[in-house]
Amino acid sequence: MKRVAILGGTGFTGAEIYRLLSKHPFFQVEFVSSESKAGSPVDKYFMAFRHGKRTNGLKFSKISDLNSKYDIIFSCLPTGVLPQVINQVSLHTDYIFNVSGDYRVTDLELLQQHYPETLKHEFHGSSYYYIPEFSRIDRNVKVVNLPGCMAVATIYSLYPLLAHDLIENRIVTDAKTGSSGGGKTTTEHHAERTNNFRPYKVHGHRHKPEIEFAFKTYFDKEIDLQFSTYSLDLPRGIMVTSYSILKEQVSEIDVKKAFYSTYASPPFIHYFNSNVGHNSNPMIKTVAGTNYAEVGVYVDGNNCVSIASIDNLIKGAGGQAIQAANLYLGFPEETGLQSELEGVWP
């Protein structure tokens, strides 16, 4: 059994990781932090265990109470908090799997604009941006940074097109997200979101530079991205739509071959290679509660529309982090996530 600690255990993502790991055969959670709930029983706090009894006796602790070595630590702290404690926390583990935004980009100007707290605290270790389906494993780093939920869904929608050099530089993406993506401290009132659909950030969302950084890292290619986000009247789920222009001589067959070859092997990517029928397209309801991403692509002349849907708390956060940890520790990437493969329908 691998010893696991979770930082920021009372947030949506921390709670989801704890729930998922309760079924993991090789990971044992032995520490969950919460500055406000320290001393309280962990299982009594989580709604996922409302109808069952658990007797592990684990209680919330403060981060300063870390006094042991863990095989891995999942950091689900709000953006800006991990840099304040990173040097202390890194002494207690080989790997920190980080789902907050603090170390996703390395450009100083972008950090100052989107993650100013990161720059206030010097980190003595190294970090790495990691997407389980596309990135190599670097065992020399201390912090493994998982992509943002809307960022990774966008990357899934565009990766085959850019990897095979099929589209022009200009890309327009809109991302629709459920309310849990804003975390528990969101300022958007329930009455504003219910029975409504509205723009959240038309310009300036911090996932835009993250997406651009990711593709520059993978392909050494600058993309001209317009990235806008919208609020859905749903608790969880993301639907991303990317609009691009095919290069000359690129055909619909070329596009479909690129998507098929890219997503034939990854166990958690479901590519719809046929668009016939209403059940042959990505949607949110069929990925909610799972670690799956659904991807589809549609070509009309030189116009290309590519779509991806995910559960923001699982594939966009907690499940992806567990998937990454499985790979880093040498377990099959599906381990502990098999029970989360089937969505509820209708």
pTM of the model: 0.94
pLDDT for the residue numbered 344: 66
Together in a domain, 16 and 113: yes
Q: Does 96 fall in a domain?
A: yes
pLDDT for the residue numbered 185: 63
pLDDT for the residue numbered 184: 63
Q: Does 345 fall in a domain?
A: no
Q: Which residues contact 2 (CB under 8 A, 6 or more apart)?
A: 26, 27, 28, 71, 72, 329
- Bridge partner list, 5: 31, 73
If one compares 50 and 39, the residue with the highest pLDDT of the two is 39
Together in a domain, 9 and 32: yes
Q: Exposed, middle or buried by CB within 10 Å (0-12, 13-18, 19+), for 42?
A: buried
Together in a domain, 324 and 189: no
pLDDT at 72 over 70: yes
Together in a domain, 43 and 130: yes
**Of residues 86, 149, 167, 304, which has the active-site annotation?**
149
Together in a domain, 104 and 193: no
Q: Does 328 fall in a domain?
A: yes
Q: Does 245 fall in a domain?
A: yes
Q: Does 62 fall in a domain?
A: yes
3-state per-residue secondary structure call for 116-164:
HHHHCCCCCCCEEECCCCCCCCCCCCCEEECCCHHHHHHHHHHHHHHHC
pLDDT for the residue numbered 204: 82
Percent of the chain residues topping a pLDDT of 70? 95
Q: Does 207 fall in a domain?
A: yes
Q: Does 346 fall in a domain?
A: no
Together in a domain, 162 and 71: no
Contact 82, 9 (CB under 8 A): no
In three-state secondary structure terms, 173 is strand
Establish whether 149 is a catalytic residue.
yes
- pLDDT tier, 115 (very low <50, low <70, confident <90, very high otherwise): confident
State which residues form the domain around 251: 150-312
pLDDT per position as a tens digit, 249-301: 999 999 999 999 999 999 999 999 877 777 789 999 999 999 999 999 999 99
pLDDT per position as a tens digit, 154-193: 999 999 999 999 999 999 999 999 877 766 666 676 777 7
pLDDT for the residue numbered 279: 79
Q: Does 69 fall in a domain?
A: yes
| Residue 68, amino acid | S
pLDDT for the residue numbered 221: 83
The per-residue pLDDT of the chain, averaged, comes to 91
CA dist 40 to 58, 60, 81, Å? 9, 6, 22
Together in a domain, 163 and 302: yes
| Residue 13, amino acid | T
Distance in Å from the first CA to the final CA of the chain: 37
Together in a domain, 127 and 16: yes
Q: What is the torsion angle, in degrees rounded to the nearest 10, for the CA atoms of residue 222, residue 226, residue 232 and residue 237?
A: -10
Cα separation, 164 vs 326, whole angstroms: 28
Give the ranges where 65-106 is alpha helix by DSSP (H).
Answer: 82-89
Together in a domain, 335 and 187: no
Torsional sign, CA 107, 113, 116, 120: positive
Together in a domain, 187 and 107: no
Q: Exposed, middle or buried by CB within 10 Å (0-12, 13-18, 19+), for 337?
A: buried
Q: How many domains does the chain have?
A: 2
Together in a domain, 93 and 188: no
Cα separation, 283 vs 214, whole angstroms: 25
Assign residue 306 the CATH number of its domain. 3.30.360.10
pLDDT mean over 56-75: 95
Together in a domain, 92 and 194: no
pLDDT for the residue numbered 342: 63
Percent of the chain residues topping a pLDDT of 90? 73
